[in-house]
Structure 1
């Protein structure tokens, strides 16, 4: 959980921490809350489209927005889903584990594109104290090559099988680079990750995403958060991906 003083409980609970957004004269303090998943129906935590895997269609590309959003989808798609995540956020990992393959199939079928907006408020809860920022920088290194399936595989692994635990050991840059290479990242992307190129840019992009998320949620930011056309999506609704594709 993000508050180091909070008591651990095996039940899903909200977890709060503060995140200071620096400015020249004003510091805005936002409350960060992990989205709480409540699977009220039987089988609500069942993996959707299990066996499909990450994006597989070579026509799916990935590109960087000027403000750091990472857009994954086929060219010309007009419907875009905004997903806010922190690479260390366990609730984000849970969402990706359950819905990631269903999202991948919809991306392959051209039903929508996804814009990932990465935040880094959990840096202090990582073993290295900067894992979220370094992971964001790694995502950006891979995204700049434009290969959608490669980025999708890397993103899937960092949020599921390879996601570190809070206050535990995490992945160093060499390990991040090795994973990127394993999933087909270019030599340039691998070198970018290894040399920690783009760390400052990733930090700036994370701050921009945090400001956007805070504004959208009325100073109460939560991860994961999903928006379509500016409207927040209830990710506890097991049909939300299918509804977004409709």
Structure 2
């Protein structure tokens, strides 16, 4: 074997080792994170509002919140579920304190990975039905359940509209909201809004469309650090 070949193979091996080390460090970082503000739960303050923007963005916060961040999530995304599990309670606490508002931009990238092939879109439609009611704590409870305890697995079964409606009822949504979900009244608009959110996500993330993605102004936030919510909220 020539020296040139030996050097080439050695260089390739070094690259492989570096990649493995980076992946291991990242995996350890992600799996060493602790649940923040455990026991706080979803938003509590009745002064917190849920607002459904014309582009489908759902803003959760007080009207005079000090800062608003954008959170791009897919209802079927496991990483989004982990984000909500680890940091959702701390986010809710900051929202109650008026230090933070969150503009949820929900996308349907994983529709094809759901049992019904349209779960993400229907879950977004249900979220819009709940958000349009305007009650912040109700929306927060629904969003929390949607992304944590009741989130389906990829390539498995998912929630029907009736089950999504029941989830909204348990969160405190009234009958008209439940009917909006059961009848799929916002499915078409949710699909359009999700497409717009994907375009916005690609723009914010440099052409990529990966979830979860959190953006503070024009800066993408590293959500694999323990203190990111506290740092963003100030």
Q: What is the TM-score with the length of structure 2 in the denominator?
A: 0.87
Contact 2:53 2:59 in 1 (8 A): yes
Aligned to 1:106: 94
The answer to whether 1:119 aligns with 2:107 is yes
Aligned to 1:198: 186
Aligned to 1:139: 127
Q: What is the TM-score with the length of structure 1 in the denominator?
A: 0.83
Q: Could you say if the C-alpha distance between residues 37 and 159 of structure 1 is closer, same or farther in structure 2, counting changes exceeding 3 Å? A: farther
Task: Give, in angstroms, the shift of residue 44 of structure 1.
Answer: 2.8
Matches of 2:174 and 2:190, distance apart in 1: 19
Contact 1:38 1:236 in 2 (8 A): no
Task: Give, in angstroms, the shift of residue 245 of structure 1.
Answer: 1.2
The answer to whether 1:212 aligns with 2:200 is yes
What is the root-mean-square deviation in Å for CA atoms of aligned residues?
Answer: 1.9
Greater Rg by CA: 2
Matches of 2:113 and 2:94, distance apart in 1: 33
2:29 corresponds, among 34, 40, 48, to 40
Matches of 1:39 and 1:145, distance apart in 2: 41
Gaps of 5+ in 2: 1-22
Three-state SS of the structure 1 residue aligned to 2:224 is: coil
Matches of 1:63 and 1:37, distance apart in 2: 35
The answer to whether 1:172 aligns with 2:152 is no
Structure holding more helix per residue: 2
Task: Give, in angstroms, the shift of residue 45 of structure 1.
Answer: 2.6
Structure holding more strand per residue: 1
Task: Give, in angstroms, the shift of residue 218 of structure 1.
Answer: 2.1
Contact 1:39 1:236 in 2 (8 A): no
The answer to whether 1:73 aligns with 2:61 is yes
Aligned to 1:91: 79
Matches of 1:101 and 1:39, distance apart in 2: 22
Runs of 4+ with deviation above 4 angstroms: none
Gaps of 5+ in 1: 1-13, 15-35
For residues 38-94 of structure 1, the C-alpha deviation after alignment (integer angstroms, 9 at most, x for no partner) is: 4438x8332110000000000000001111100000112241010000000000000
